[in-house]
Structures are given as structure tokens and as C-alpha cells.
Amino acid sequence: MRLLILIFIFFYPLFSFSDIQEFGYVDLKYILKNSLPSKNLQIEMDKGRNLFQQSINQEENALRQAEKEINEKRDTISKEDFQLLVKDFEEKVASIQKLVQKSRQQLETNFQLSQKLIADTINELVINMAKKENLLIVFKSDNIIYVNDDFNYTTLILEELNKRESQFNFRQIYTDLIENLEK
């Protein structure tokens, strides 16, 4: 990246650009933290986690009850029948543990894919804005120590992203995940 900048600065005097502002920057972290789609994603992720935890708690309670019932039958059934009940119980526990692990991974994957969708949209907005503003280069602010605010396009991109809020339907992603867990 530094090499690209040095090459550009070295060869810059060879070019003549009439109405082109050379540089701009965007604070991607700020946009990802403060945009409506990101805030909605976090709300839905929290709801998804809560629903997931409620579902897990229900399963744990059902397992505790099943374990209690098995232990109550210990003295009233044969040792072989008791061992079959224990084996069946252990298989249910293992099955639920696998489902929980799979669901957690899916929840995290959905969150990452949703964040990528937001980031891809931001990139699209930045490219369109750069073309419209005749910018040669747009930097992410995490690589910049100082830039004049005239080159800051963060607010513009944030506003454009917020206008597209309705394009992002994160609610359904997490609702579907929890419904699949309950089946």
C-alpha cells in the first residue's frame, strides 16, 4: 500500500487533472458501528442469541427431568433396562450438544455474512461516490494519521447506507435459525 502511494506521489506531477480532487477517506469502523443496518443487525443478533439461549435452557430442563425420571426408575427396573435408559439418555445429550454447537456456529456465520453484506454495500457506495466526486483514491481512515475534513466522506457514505436500511432484513435470518433449532 505504501509503495502504491509513493509511486503515485512520484508520478503525480506527470499527470494533469483538471477538476479532480485527488484523495478522500472514509472511516469504515465508524460507519459499521453507527449505521442503521449495523445497529439493526446487532439488535437481531442479540434477539437471536436470547432466543437461542431460551431454547437451550428448555432442552437442559427437559434433560434434567429425564435424568430425574431415569434415576427414579433405578430400583424398580432391571439393571439391563436401566442401562438401556441411560444409554438412550446419553445419546439424547450428545445429539443436543451437537445441535447446540451447530446452531452456535450457524448464528456466528450468519452474523459474519450479514456484516459482509453491509461492508460490501459500503464498498459499493464508496466506489460510486468516488466516481461521482472524481476521486483518484479513497483510503480507509485506520491507515491515516491526519487528513483535512474536506477529504472526509464518512458522513456522506453513512447517510447513503442508512437510506438503504430497508434492503437489509436480518430479522428473518435469526428467526429461521431459532425455528430450526426448535424442530
pLDDT in tens, the chain (183 residues): 554 454 555 545 544 444 556 888 899 999 999 999 999 999 988 888 888 888 888 988 998 999 998 888 888 888 898 899 899 999 999 998 898 888 889 888 988 999 999 999 999 999 999 999 888 888 887 777 887 888 889 999 999 999 999 888 887 766 666 565 555
Please choose, from the candidates 179, 168, 133, 148, the residue with its C-alpha nearest in 3D space to the C-alpha of residue 17: 133
The answer to whether position 12 is within a domain reads no
The answer to whether position 9 is within a domain reads no
> Domain range for residue 117?
17-182
Length of the chain as a residue count: 183
The answer to whether position 117 is within a domain reads yes
The tally of domains found in the chain comes to 1
**Secondary structure (3-state) at 139:** strand
What is the Cα–Cα distance from 57 to 134, expressed in whole angstroms?
56
The answer to whether position 99 is within a domain reads yes
What is the Cα–Cα distance from 172 to 48, expressed in whole angstroms?
10
The answer to whether position 5 is within a domain reads no
Q: What is the DSSP string of 39-104?
A: HHHHHHHHHHHHHHHHHHHHHHHHHHHHHHHHHHHTTTS-HHHHHHHHHHHHHHHHHHHHHHHHHH
